[in-house]
A and B are shown apart, each in its own frame.
Chain A
Amino acid sequence: EELLLSPLPTGDVAATFQFRTRWDADLQRGSVSHYRLFPKALGRLVAALGVRELHLALTQGFWRTRYWGQPPLQAPAGAELWVWFQPTVTDVDKAWKELSNILSGIFCASLNFIDSTNTVIPTASFKPLGLANGTDHHLLRYAVLPREVVCTENLTPWKKLLPCGSKAGLAVLLKAERLFHSSYHSQAVHIRPVCRDASCLAVSWELRQTLTVVFDFFSSGQGKKDWSLFKMFSRTLTDTCPLASQSKVYVDISPKNKEKELLEVSPPPTSVHEAVVQGDKKTYAVYDLLSPSLFNTSRSLNVQLKWKRPQDSSEMPIPTLHAQRYVGGYGLQTGEICTLIYNTHPYRAFPVILLETVPWYLRLYVHTLTIITKGKENKPSYIHYQPAQDRRRPHLLEMLIQLPANSVTKITIQFERALLKWTEYPPDPNHGFYVGSSVLSALVPSVTAMKDMDVEQSPLFTSLFPSSDGSSYFVRLYTEPLLVNLPTPDFSMPYNVICLTCTVVAVCYGSFYNLLTRTFHVEEPSRGGLAKWLANVIRKFRGVPPL
């Protein structure tokens, strides 16, 4: 298990937890009946449905790449699920449907809304991250639910999958009241097969649970950019998980602009680790929770960081690749989706794969697709487009675009909004409809060369994506989700019409009927009775004329 704390350029702090459980058993072959650290719910899921790789992420908020830098692992807002199935699975769609239902039960999320209207089969993005024999893309399924909310009921089952639960080790810091009071919260589960050792003769199954949270101290009125574990999580680390073979806390203390002594961490770290991560040389202060010297003085570990000098706020590093997406146009009939991709590398150009999934009710006009870089048209070298079918399939657009050095690429496509049937609107249609984030996958050239490191020795956050060579690193970015208003009918109209019509009919027809059929009769006056006779007797006594 591992916790990576990195201060971001804007003064926020990003904390990334990674818990990796590796199980040396073959889940596919033979019946495995004894589960120890690997959670039984996920193990049986993988074995029964023939899953080769599973990636599920639940996210609240958006990672602002432009201001915060490249994320170690980003996920789009809402829920994202992508799965590679084994070649032995015959009916992939049926297995996909069952899988999403089972996962929605395990994680208390509405993943059962994943169906054919929001599932796509990408051809170029989302290559397997684990061992793979062949890559027939018909075994891959990808779905995004941008409307999905993440709250404590999703965090609790996620924590229960950890070997120590939330009782020992790094997971004691995961308390819901602090984690959701943040700008970005993303929790994910990744299951993939990996090589058991360097010779790769046998297969192990790896389960990685990652949780990334960005705390916003600077603008929440704290003033100073100093932080500590207690301030962030309202808890400190007290002991290690006895089942963990490795338990470390990494704090990013990379000096900016080659200046040393800008910040200070306390208590002093057990070691300092230097690595080239995502193209940059970074220095980390490492706290090894398993080393006996750490808990000698006090039972709790509260890592604190203090800035010695106020930071130069004008020097914010800009990431090499970042993107932005928005909806253009006006009115409720047409519109335009614009994506801007920035390549800020001074001299290297590199290609990027853009995957866009648009729901069927925004009808895209592919003939209006334009890609403009530096004023000139940029033709993508590979396009895969699958048009939508009403109520059955969404649009899928995948393109491989070459980004020249130091450029902005603008991709625009026009769409028309469809009118849905009145039963298809959600209970709050005036909120709008979400369009899932687009995915950018790229091998970004790195400034500093990265050497090949042994997977076992390197920290977890460097070994999530397999790196092919040392000159570039893989990054997957997501753009903002879009919120689009569809033409919404007035749902109170039937009620109003019925009221008005019935009133008009009652008043007009009723009066007319009365006029035609009402007749007047003269009525005999009644004689009175006992009461009248008694009253007359009393009147006679009084001397008043009778009734």
Chain B
Amino acid sequence: MAAAVPGASRARATAALLLLLLLGCCGAALAGGPQDQAEQFFRSGHTNNWAVLVCTSRFWFNYRHVANTLSVYRSVKRLGIPDSHIVLMLADDMACNPRNPKPATVFSHKNMELNVYGDDVEVDYRSYEVTVENFLRVLTGRIPPSTPRSKRLLYCCSHGGNGFLKFQDSEEITNVELADAFEQMWQKRRYNELLFIIDTCQGASMYERFYSPNIMALASSQVGEDSL
């Protein structure tokens, strides 16, 4: 999992430079490159921030995926991105599910102290509307003209495998398709920087094929690891 804390990376950059001097190797200062780029990512001054939060799992036993996505939604809202700039896609309704003993609530911890569903949640795509087609349409902007909602934090939480992400038990999206979608977004200048967070099993495989610039990707598991 890649860490993205500016302080730590700066310290590591200095440590790497020192090491180079000691060894006397004349290799190019490669250690400075990626760390610098990561810092640049967080220091850019763009303020038109959007977030796309996707949970693609259906059924009650995937309550945790919806709870994760709603936790990120709450964090993103608390940190300043308004509802009009957040596209929230939840594939199933957990809060008002008949199996929920406390209706209209979704908790992300067994203490049940923080209701991440809250009172002012705005779900843009729900239940059967969360499909691969709608997801790619939201990313690339090819939505039909009568769509009421309108896109660069992308968080996906669901089940996945090596190279694909499962949508609602019936379809998949592969890492190649995702990479192509991001390239379309880059060509249409739909993003300046993109932070992609994926929370599935073998999530690191989803960003193996990215070839567009200015994307930072985080995954909760490496290839071969399960994320439960």
Contacts and interface: CB of A to CB of B under 8 A. Distances in A.
Given A110-B128, A113-B128, A180-B104, A152 B95 contact: yes
A177 B148 contact: no
Given A104-B148, A152-B119, A427 B103 contact: no
B102 interface: yes
Interface residues of A, number: 31
A106 B119 CA distance: 16
B104 A179 contact: yes
A303 B63 CA distance: 38
Of the candidates A106, A150, A153, A179, the one having the most CB atoms from chain B within 10 angstroms of its own CB is: A153
B170 A152 contact: no
A150 B103 CA distance: 11
Contact of B104 (A110, A147, A181, A491): A181
B226 interface: no
A58 B177 CA distance: 37
A393 interface: no
B168 A427 contact: yes
B96 A110 contact: no
B146 interface: yes
A105 B93 contact: no
Give the interface centre of A104, A106, A112, A152 by most chain B CB atoms within 10 Å. Answer: A152
A149 interface: yes
B126 interface: yes
Contacts of A97: 146
A177 B105 contact: yes
Interface in A81-132: 97-98, 101-102, 104-106, 108, 110, 112-113
B121 interface: yes
A428 interface: yes
Interface string B167-192: 01110000000000000000000000
Nearest to B130: A427
Contact of A156 (B122, B128, B170): B122
A153 B149 contact: no
B61 to A, nearest CB: 13
A427 B126 CA distance: 13
B105 A101 contact: no
Interface string B107-123: 00000000101111111
A282 B102 CA distance: 36
Given A101-B146, A106-B148, A156 B119 contact: yes
A274 B121 CA distance: 42
Interface of A: 60, 97-98, 101-102, 104-106, 108, 110, 112-113, 147, 149-153, 156-157, 175-177, 179-181, 425-428, 491
Interface of B: 58-59, 91, 93, 95-96, 102-105, 115, 117-124, 126-129, 146-149, 168-170
